[in-house]
Amino acid sequence: MRILISNDDGIAAQGLAELERAARRLSDDIWIVAPDGNRSGFAHSITFRKGFDIERVGPSRYVCSGTPADCVIGAMSWVFRDGALPDLVLSGINEGRNVAEDVSYSGTMAVAREAALRGIPGIAFSRPRDGRELDAAGSDWLAGRIQDFWQSRAEWALDGHWLSVNLPKQVPAHMRMAKIGRDKVANRVIIHQETADRAVIEPLADRAYASTPGDENHLIDSGIASVICFNWMGQAEVPSHALKDMTTDAA
């Protein structure tokens, strides 16, 4: 099994090394393509117009000057140009939980989402900032969960679906499907400088940790790993009367 691993915290991140150790329990065909620095909050942005660099820094190991999504694009279009594409794409382990609204602007999610858009199973892993580094037992546990997801991919890796897995502070742990909660980072900002016409604003990555029974935060704080299967290709019906109103307004 060929596995591609990336993240948004950068190639030197501890979480990436831990995810790689777990993946190597399942396969010897492991490839790393990760950003050269932290790209948290870059969402699914792609570097247009100016391009980005990918450089080999070791056996099956590359660093990318672009975004997390660029890492996958570069891997598929250049790193694997003359060989087989990955069977599975893993992202993380992100430093910080990815819950609720985070999914829309998480670079960790972008890696798994980009894989899904290309028809390759993708799984994004995250954990609380105060989570413990994986020991041997934790690494074995994570490898087992990846193997389980791989074996069941026919049930979830369809039509743009990918998995978001939030680990609790410590594993091994029980794992459950979660409801999507409502929690948001960047509710507060620091205004470093301001005049009447200009301000320098820094959003803060803190949150309220709001939760309802069964959502991601509730499971994580209960010591349970949460899993959500997202679908990029989902579509909701627009009420016919709304379409009529839109047509009338446009006219």
- Name the pTM for this structure: 0.89
pLDDT of residue 31: 98
pLDDT of residue 231: 86
Angle formed by the axes of helices 136-151 and 14-23, to 10°?
60
Fold of 2-182+212-234: Stationary-phase Survival Protein Sure Homolog; Chain: A, (3.40.1210)
Closest of 40, 41, 21, 39 to residue 30, by C-alpha: 21
pLDDT of residue 233: 65
Closest of 139, 90, 97, 92 to residue 116, by C-alpha: 90
142 contact partners, CB below 8 Å, separation of at least 6: 18, 19, 22, 125, 134, 167, 171
pLDDT of residue 28: 95
To the nearest 10°, the Cα dihedral for 12, 15, 21, 23? -110
Can you give the pLDDT of all 251 residues of the chain as single tens digits? 999 999 999 999 999 999 999 999 999 999 999 999 888 877 788 888 889 999 999 999 999 999 999 999 999 999 999 889 999 999 999 999 999 888 888 999 999 999 999 999 999 999 999 999 999 999 999 999 999 999 999 999 988 899 999 999 999 999 999 988 888 787 788 899 988 889 998 888 778 888 899 999 999 999 999 999 988 765 566 676 666 554 444 44
pLDDT of residue 250: 44
Alpha carbons 96 and 93: distance in angstroms, whole number: 9
Alpha carbons 219 and 175: distance in angstroms, whole number: 9
Residue-wise over 56-88: b if at least 16 C-beta within 10 A, else e? eeeeebbbbbbbbbbbbbbbbeebbeeeebbeb
